[in-house]
Amino acid sequence: MEFLTSITPAQALKVIGTFPLPSLDREEAPLEHAQGRVLALDIIAREDIPPFARSLVDGYAVKAKDTYGAREGSPSFLLVKGVVAVGEATEAQVGDGEAVSVATGAMVPAGADGVVMEEHTRRAADGVEVTHSVRRREHICFRGEDLKAGEVVLEKGKVLSPFDIGVLAALGVVAVPVYRQVFVGIVSSGNEVVAVDTAPPPGKVRDINAHTVSGLVRMRGCLVRFAGIARDTVEDITEKLSALKGCDMLLLSGGSSKGQSDFMTAAVELLGGKTLFHGLNIKPGKPTVFASLWDKPVFGLPGHPVSCAMVVLRFVLPLVARLRGEKEEVFPRTQAGTLTTNVPSTYGIEEYVRVTVARKENRTSVTPLFAKSSVISTLSRADGYIIVRAGKEGLEAGEEVEVYPLG
């Protein structure tokens, strides 16, 4: 394959999106460790939640019709038939002209279809004066109003949020069916790269990419295995890749400039793999490799830290989502804003520009951070990035843009 015969981002995403992946094994995760994992089965409610009608306020359970027209100067008088405390079961019934005192969270007696707030009442000798009318169903969470037995409440492929964990807790699910976690193998390469705990001599740089890339895939729920730093030889890269054969995806950073990329593609092919594309029509990140090895996806990521990170965000993470069994493969939600200055670009190339975002007086301003692709600090300062599509000759100040998050 000719070096850097670039393809478009859309073509690349199609190749990546159709890469055949095996089915992931299922396992059970304890509820307290299930956040961020991907559901492997639909969760079906086995019971109504709540299992009984509950009061949402301190007050009196009543028939709503008995309060209609009640006001401060002309209250409705109701006979109080008892009290229900939180956590107490009751067989009381509310009849016409009657009320039962209830606490927040307490069971609402049968016959009641509304609860009058305490502050809208005045207690009398054996009854209560209601000074504010209440509507039917007001201040009550009825049985099954949250979740109904038999309904699918969480779908297979959903990434579990803290709120989903709350739903599972409500249903009493203590062992959650999830897909096993994806293992991502990472290799850094380059004769100029040294470990972060090393004082780099002249001509050397610390290994930024391994840690940035590891962080990005860990944020998406993956486990990481790092094989170390490979020298620029086919033999060393082959050895490092072979050590990660058991992983679900392989990421090799710093091996896609001319010469270095030859070592990577040669190593992949020596091990029986195949290069699927080499070169993307993007900036930064053009010298990107995507290959198949042991029926697993392999990315050769650019060496410059920003280029490397942007390729992970735009092209690697969508495949991570598929590998994890996530239901939808979409880019993260964007926020709209207005450019504060012009953004030049090269016609015919899709460009990713780091930006900061500021909000003032209901207006969101987006300011580009112009820097070379080796300047990692701009990613630390950025709030996101914008895309200048290949068919545009830059963007102008005042244009509306979509800001993508960095993660």
Instruction: Quote the pLDDT of residue 82.
Output: 95
C-beta separation of 166 from 43 below 8 A: no
C-beta separation of 387 from 354 below 8 A: no
Token pair of 180 as six digits: 């096993």
Token pair of 373 as six digits: 């692709």
For residue 113, how many other CB atoms are within 10 A of its CB? Answer: 19
d(Cα 47, Cα 151) in Å, to the nearest integer?
9
Instruction: Quote the pLDDT of residue 259.
Output: 59
Helix (H) and strand (E) counts in the chain: 8, 26
Q: Let me know if the fold of 9-24+181-324 is the same as that of 335-403.
A: no
Identify any residues that bridge with 360 across adjacent strands, giving them in sequence order. 363
Token pair of 104 as six digits: 């927040």
Token pair of 349 as six digits: 């190339």
Residue with tokens 């956040």: 35
314: helix, coil or strand? helix
Token pair of 99 as six digits: 């009320």
Q: Exposed, middle or buried by CB within 10 Å (0-12, 13-18, 19+), for 392?
A: middle
d(Cα 363, Cα 379) in Å, to the nearest integer?
23
Q: Strand (E) positions, 195-330?
A: 205-206, 223-230, 249-253, 274-278, 282-283, 289-293, 296-301
Instruction: Quote the pLDDT of residue 332.
Output: 72
Please state the domain extents for the chain: 9-24+181-324, 26-47+149-179, 54-141, 335-403
Q: What is the full per-residue pLDDT of the chain (407 aa) written as tens digits?
A: 444 568 999 999 999 999 999 999 999 999 999 999 999 999 999 999 999 999 999 999 999 999 999 999 999 999 999 999 999 999 999 999 999 999 999 999 999 999 999 999 999 889 999 999 999 999 999 999 999 999 999 999 999 999 999 999 999 999 999 999 999 999 999 999 999 999 999 999 999 999 999 999 999 999 999 999 999 999 999 999 999 999 999 999 984 455 566 788 999 999 999 999 999 999 999 999 999 999 999 999 999 999 999 999 999 999 999 999 998 756 678 999 999 999 999 999 999 999 999 998 889 999 999 887 778 899 999 999 999 999 998 999 999 999 999 98
* Global pTM value: 0.89
Backbone phi and psi for residue 384, each to the nearest 5 degrees, phi listed first: 170, -160
Instruction: Quote the pLDDT of residue 155.
Output: 96
- How confident is the model over 141-190, as pLDDT tens digits? 999 999 999 999 999 999 999 999 999 999 999 999 999 999 999 999 99
Q: Which CATH number fits domain 54-141: 3.90.470.10, 2.170.190.11, 3.20.20.70, 3.40.470.10?
A: 2.170.190.11
C-beta separation of 67 from 115 below 8 A: no
Beta strands 98-102; 76-84: pairing state: parallel
- How confident is the model over 64-107, as pLDDT tens digits? 999 999 999 999 999 999 999 999 999 999 999 999 999 999 99
For residue 10, how many other CB atoms are within 10 A of its CB? Answer: 11
For residue 152, how many other CB atoms are within 10 A of its CB? Answer: 10
Q: Which CATH number fits domain 335-403: 2.40.340.10, 2.40.160.60, 3.30.420.40, 3.40.50.720?
A: 2.40.340.10
Instruction: Quote the pLDDT of residue 376.
Output: 87
d(Cα 185, Cα 248) in Å, to the nearest integer?
8
Backbone phi and psi for residue 163, each to the nearest 5 degrees, phi listed first: -75, -35
Q: Which CATH number fits domain 9-24+181-324: 3.40.50.300, 3.40.980.10, 3.10.20.30, 3.30.565.10?
A: 3.40.980.10
Fold entry, domain 26-47+149-179: Molybdopterin biosynthesis moea protein, domain 2 (3.90.105)
